[in-house]
Amino acid sequence: MHTIDIKSSINVNDASHKMYKLISDLYPLCRSITGNGLRETLHTIQKEISLYIHEIATGTEVFDWTIPKEWNIKDAFIKNLQGEKIVSFHQSNLHVVNYSVNINKKIGLQDLKAHLFTLPEQPNLIPYRTSYYKENWGFCLSHNQLLELKDEEYEVCIDSSLENGHLTYGEYYIRGEKADEVLISCHICHPSLCNDNLSGIALAVFLAKHLSQFAPSYSYRFLFIPGTVGSITWLALNEANVDKIKHGLVVTCVGDPGKSHYKKSRQGNAEIDKAVIHVLKSSGQDYEIMDFSPYGYDERQFCSPGFNLPVGCFMRSPHGTYPQYHTSADNLELVQPQYLADSLAKLLSVLQIIENNKKYLNQNPKCEPQLGKRGLYSAIGGQTDTKKSEMAMLWILNLSDGNHTLLDISEKSGLEFDLIKKTADTLLQFNLLKETT
């Protein structure tokens, strides 16, 4: 009987500034679903945790998909007739459509426009566009800049390569007391976008770093993978072991000012769903619970019917719902340490529940045991908490029939999980409870 206390030994505020620093370091890198930007991202993460980096060759079949060619880029620009670079990859990697093929030619404005992408509704922002599975090239720029382009000839150059290579992903494993696993997954394939990808990465890294100092009850597996093809690849290569995953979360968009959102697993009533909902409900803040839908991040693959893993999606503002989403405004101003801190605190509370959510059997189930003669009325808490502690004892003793977890008891009683857990530990010491499965 020991409480795994992962919450009290961390300075969340301090961690949030380290998370923000990591986001700042990763921000300039041009990530994609393959390539050196991804590798550099993983090498930067390796300075914090000893991540294992996997390289899977182009052409490898992973279920219905095939590992694509590897994309790398050195430079890209559009020059006007005067030879001035009016769009430059080195100013923002969002200027290039991700996975653009190599191009170097002169082109008139009308033909060039077929390869330019803007956001007329948000005329100051650069959009984020990709063309992973169709060979194409293009540039993204602000709509205001497009309107200023003169009808003249331009020089376009994209110094990129699309060749046989590898898909790269990172994995970090913490061995717990048991082989049963908690999976934490985040996507790492977006270039200079902070909330959508970097915030999830930073949260996963610092959660991993913190948990590695414990001997947790569960084993933990952290995945840093390119979206969609990365989770498909991991599932294809690890199919034999996925039944070890008892709880899982995809972590994304956790650094913006929006309220917390949780998208339930496809199962809908998994223990992870109950734990996250409990934490959000207890937070005293506004939040929203969403049912599972087959759109979003890698929960789509983890929750495909052939796997149906208990994996939900933990976020603040969901994809597509905030104006900065997939634009140059998803930057270091949108994401702030205070929101990262709040997301980290909530995730720690979720894992604290998962780690300690035991089931017990009342060893004196015929009528209430006499608590006073055992000294139990004074055994717990200070004066002000006495009433709550008594109520916690009565609820735990009554519901410890082998059918209720401590989280169920917390929900039914309206008492905090931490109090329920602490009280159960005391009752266990007094031999009034026995752990059951």
Q: Rule CB under 5 A: which residues touch Zn ion?
A: 196
196 vs 256, which CB is nearer to Zn ion?
196
Q: What is the DSSP letter of 122?
A: S
CB of 84 to Zn ion, least distance (A): 32
Whether the CA torsion 418, 423, 428, 432 is positive or negative: it is negative
CB of 273 to Zn ion, least distance (A): 23
Alpha carbon 12 to its chain's center: 17
Specify whether the CB–CB gap between 254 and 200 falls below 8 A.
yes
What is the DSSP code string of 376-428? HHHHSS-GGGHHHHHHHHHHHHHHTEEEEEHHHHHHHHT--HHHHHHHHHHHH
- Strands 116-117, 103-108: pairing kind: unpaired
CB of 68 to Zn ion, least distance (A): 18
Calculated CA dihedral for residues 278, 283, 285, 290, nearest 10 degrees = -20
Closest residue (Cβ) to Zn ion?
A: 196
CB of 187 to Zn ion, least distance (A): 7
204 vs 350, which CB is nearer to Zn ion?
204
CB of 194 to Zn ion, least distance (A): 11
Place of tokens 């409480």: 3
Residues whose CB is less than 8 angstroms from the CB of residue 432 and which lie 6 or more positions away in sequence, other chains included = 362, 363, 364, 369, 374, 397
Residues whose CB is less than 8 angstroms from the CB of residue 365 and which lie 6 or more positions away in sequence, other chains included = 401
CB of 93 to Zn ion, least distance (A): 14
196 vs 418, which CB is nearer to Zn ion?
196
154 vs 314, which CB is nearer to Zn ion?
314
Q: Could you count the other beta carbons within 10 Å of the beta carbon of residue 319?
A: 16
196 vs 355, which CB is nearer to Zn ion?
196
77 vs 132, which CB is nearer to Zn ion?
132
